[in-house]
Amino acid sequence: MLGGFSEEQIKRYSRHIILPEVGGKGQKKLLSSRVLCIGAGGLGAPIIEYLAAAGVGTLGIIDDDTVDLSNLQRQIIHGGNVGIHKVESARQFINNLNPDIEVRTYVERLNANNVVDIFKEYDIVVDGSDNFATRYLVNDACVLTDTPLSHGSIYRFEGQVTTIIPHKGPCYRCIFEHAPPPGMVPSCQEAGVLGVLPGIIGVIQATEVVKYLLGIGELLVGRLIYYDALNMVFDEIKIRWNKNCPVCGTEPKITSIQEEIYGESCRIW
Amino acid sequence: MIVELDLRGEVCPYTFVKTKLKLEELESGEELNVILDHAPAVDNVPRSLKNEGHKILEIEQNGDHLWKVKILKA
């Protein structure tokens, strides 16, 4: 045991330990960190893959879905697991990749009643959800519980990603106060998605999580990356804290998580 | 007190990885002596340590394939 690492861990994490910005101390921080991944689908799969490989000690995964053959066009970790719960499939993947990781699975949907209790157990939340109701619920709960959040979302060939540190930068509602009306934005099931797209966005989210846990580099706080795969363009959009934001503004209208706010459309009034 | 780390049998990059982990346990200004028998490490380890700001006090050859690298922790 050198620096509290087993021989196997020294080998496994050697490429991290060599980095001056990480070292043994940084790797220990990762091993003692707790990250919650919302969803184990398109975004969740690559997020889980890289966070587990990086040695994030506790990975919580919430998803109530089962693996479908149509998922395997992009959700690499679920290969061979059609029909089983995604969280269980993810657990198998993680156990094979890195036995250091404690996996906590939640076979349920995130909702107004469970969100605060679950978030309390984690240092940072990564949103890999595929619908507006969950996205706004996650944002609001992160702001209200002061939990950092990595946001990512994808559509056909485009994706966006930003990092939210509540009260230190803008939140998702500062940018998009309300969800679009139901039916205006088709789901990925209806719209299609390029299989590699969630890999890119999810891995950027995982990068932000690792940086946050290590306390290194510049996070995507107050910045949103917009990625266009067709034209292979990354744009950076500066975003500002909105003093009229319904959840993190000076006079917030949302001060607790109330179920009726998070209907399909996520309109709050 | 001089701390000694015997890395005979270790090859790159683990020679550096283990030296770095040991240095993290020491205080600034403490001396670490690392024993190496892997020739490339005699160049690589001091170079990587200098990159991280540590000082190489001496590289002592104690046989055909045996070296002692004396390091002062930054």
Distance from CA of A28 to the nearest CA of B (A): 11
Parts of chain B with a pLDDT under 70 = none
Task: Compute the radius of gyration of chain B from its Cα atoms.
Answer: 11
Q: Is residue A4 part of a domain?
A: no
Domain segments of chain B as ranges: 2-72
Provide block-wise average pLDDT over 10 residues at a time, chain A (269 residues): 93 98 98 98 98 98 97 98 98 98 97 96 97 95 98 97 98 92 73 95 98 98 98 98 97 92 58
Amino acid at A95: N
Q: Is residue A131 part of a domain?
A: yes
Model pLDDT, residue A185: 74
Pairing of strands B31-36, B67-72: antiparallel
Model pLDDT, residue A269: 40
Model pLDDT, residue A264: 56
Question: What's the topology of domain B2-72?
Answer: Translation Initiation Factor IF3 (3.30.110)
Residue pairs spanning A and B at CB distance below 8 A: 32
H helices of A215-251, in order, are none
A188, A245, A248, A266: the catalytic one is: A188
Q: Is residue A9 part of a domain?
A: no
Three-class DSSP category at A51: helix
E strand map for A43-190? 58-62, 102-106, 124-127, 149-155, 158-164
Partner-chain contact A17 B20, CB within 8 Å: yes
Domain that holds residue A100: 15-262
Q: Is residue A224 part of a domain?
A: yes
Model pLDDT, residue B54: 97
What's A108's domain CATH number? Answer: 3.40.50.720
List, by residue number, the catalytic residues of B.
12
Which residue does chain A place closest to B25, by CA atoms?
A3
Model pLDDT, residue A3: 87
E strand map for chain A? 34-38, 58-62, 102-106, 124-127, 149-155, 158-164, 223-228, 233-238
Q: What pTM was computed for the model?
A: 0.95
Model pLDDT, residue A268: 45
- To test the contact with chain B by mutation, choose from A17, A21, A29 the residue with the greatest count of B C-beta atoms within 10 A, namely A17
* B16-55 residues touching A, CB cutoff 8 A: 16-18, 20-22, 24-25, 48, 51-52
Model pLDDT, residue A186: 73
Partner-chain contact B21 A11, CB within 8 Å: no
H helices of B1-74, in order, are 14-24, 39-51
Q: In what order do the strands lie in the sheet with A34-38?
A: A102-106, A58-62, A34-38, A124-127, A149-155, A158-164, A223-228, A233-238
Q: Distance between CA A30 and CA A249 in Å, rounded?
A: 32
Distance from CA of A218 to the nearest CA of B (A): 21
Q: What is the ipTM of this complex?
A: 0.92
Q: Per the structure, how many domains does chain A have?
A: 1
Any CB–CB contact under 8 A between A2 and chain B?
yes
Partner-chain contact B51 A20, CB within 8 Å: yes
- To test the contact with chain A by mutation, choose from B21, B25, B26 the residue with the greatest count of A C-beta atoms within 10 A, namely B21
Say if CB A131 and CB A139 are below 8 A apart. Answer: no
Any CB–CB contact under 8 A between A20 and chain B?
yes
Task: Compute the radius of gyration of chain A from its Cα atoms.
Answer: 18
Say if CB A196 and CB A227 are below 8 A apart. Answer: no
